[in-house]
Each structure stands twice: as structure tokens, then as C-alpha cells.
Amino acid sequence: MMHGHRPYDTCLGMNRRQKTASHLERMVLTDMRRYALCNGVSAVTVRPTADGMGWEVADFYAPGGVPAACREIGLAAAEALREHYDLLPDSQLAPDDDLRLP
């Protein structure tokens, strides 16, 4: 597990915060890119767990493949983030009125 202060750490006793999949993906990717070995990782995909009670990393993407060490770093980052953040279900996303056609 990764330790240390992150700008998105929450204080003990606070409610877990919900984040969209894309936000969680960016947070995992940001943690991974702190390591030079993982600078080539271009994307992370998260999804709800099979039981629907949490979230997990579905895949990592990088040209030529993702080194095993980067996968481990990404999985550790996700584990640390799961202590503070839940996945906001798509059903709870607010509609984006800017995308509606007139």
C-alpha cells in the first residue's frame, strides 16, 4: 500500500466521498506517473466490482504494454484511494444540459 500525503486525502472520521469513474482514473494515473517507469501509461479504466459494492481497476494502457511494476503501482494506488473514495454510480450522474440538442 502507498502511504504519504496526497492533496485528496481526507481526515479520519469524514464520510467517504463519491467520485466519477473518470476522476478516479485520473487520480490513479496521477499517482502512477510519479514514477518515471510509468510515464508511458496513457490511461486507466475503473469499473464497479462484480458485487456492485465498490470499484476496481479494469485495465491499464500504454504503447507497447504496461510493465508489471507499473501495474503493481497502479493497483496499490487504487487500493489507497478506495479507503477514501467510492465510485459514483452512472445512475446518479446529473444530466449535462449542455449536451442536449435544441
> Mean pLDDT, to the nearest integer, of 39-56?
94
Expressed as residue numbers, the domain containing 24 is: 17-90
Residue 3 has pLDDT above 50, yes or no: no
- Is 7 domain-assigned? no
> Mean pLDDT, to the nearest integer, of 24-29?
97
- Is 30 domain-assigned? yes
- Residue 42 grid coordinates: 496513457
> Mean pLDDT, to the nearest integer, of 3-32?
74
Give the whole-angstrom CA distance, residue 30 versus residue 8: 12
- Is 84 domain-assigned? yes
β strands within the chain, DSSP E: 17-19, 43-48, 55-61, 85-87
> Mean pLDDT, to the nearest integer, of 16-24?
92
Average model confidence (pLDDT) for the chain? 84
Report the number of distinct structural domains present in the chain. 1
pLDDT single digits (tens) 49-87: 999 889 999 999 999 999 999 999 999 999 999 999 999
- Residue 95 grid coordinates: 444530466
More confident residue, 78 or 16: 78
- Residue 51 grid coordinates: 458485487
- Is 97 domain-assigned? no
- Is 8 domain-assigned? no
- Is 1 domain-assigned? no
- Is 4 domain-assigned? no
- Is 2 domain-assigned? no
β-pairing, 17-19 vs 85-87, is parallel
Q: Note the pTM of the prediction, 2 decimals.
A: 0.76
